[in-house]
A and B are shown apart, each in its own frame.
Chain A
Amino acid sequence: AQSVTQLGSHVSVSEGALVLLRCNYSSSVPPYLFWYVQYPNQGLQLLLKYTSAATLVKGINGFEAEFKKSETSFHLTKPSAHMSDAAEYFCAVSGNAGGTSYGKLTFGQGTILTVHP
Chain B
Amino acid sequence: DSGVTQTPKHLITATGQRVTLRCSPRSGDLSVYWYQQSLDQGLQFLIQYYNGEERAKGNILERFSAQQFPDLHSELNLSSLELGDSALYFCASSVVDRGPGNTIYFGEGSWLTVV
Kindly state the separation between the CA atoms of A47 and B87 in the bound complex, as whole angstroms: 24
Residues of B in contact with A (beta carbons under 8 Å apart): 2, 4, 31, 33, 42-43, 45, 48, 50, 55-56, 58, 90, 92, 94, 96-100, 102-109
Interface residues on A, range: 20 to 34
Chain A: minimal CB distance from B55 (Å) = 5
Contact A104 B56 (CB under 8 A): yes
Residue among A34, A52, A90, A107 with the highest chain B CB neighbour number at 10 A: A107
Q: Which of A83-117 contact B (CB under 8 A)?
A: 90, 94-96, 98, 100-110
Kindly state the separation between the CA atoms of A39 and B64 in the bound complex, as whole angstroms: 28
What residues on B are CB-neighbors of A106 within 8 Å? 45
Chain B: minimal CB distance from A87 (Å) = 14
Q: Among B42, B50, B94, B97, point to the contact of A109 (Cβ < 8 A).
A: B42
Kindly state the separation between the CA atoms of A52 and B98 in the bound complex, as whole angstroms: 14
Residue among A43, A51, A52, A104 with the highest chain B CB neighbour number at 10 A: A104
Contact B48 A43 (CB under 8 A): no
Contact B42 A107 (CB under 8 A): yes
Kindly state the separation between the CA atoms of A49 and B90 in the bound complex, as whole angstroms: 20
Residue among A34, A46, A51, A102 with the highest chain B CB neighbour number at 10 A: A102
What residues on A are CB-neighbors of B33 within 8 Å? 104-105
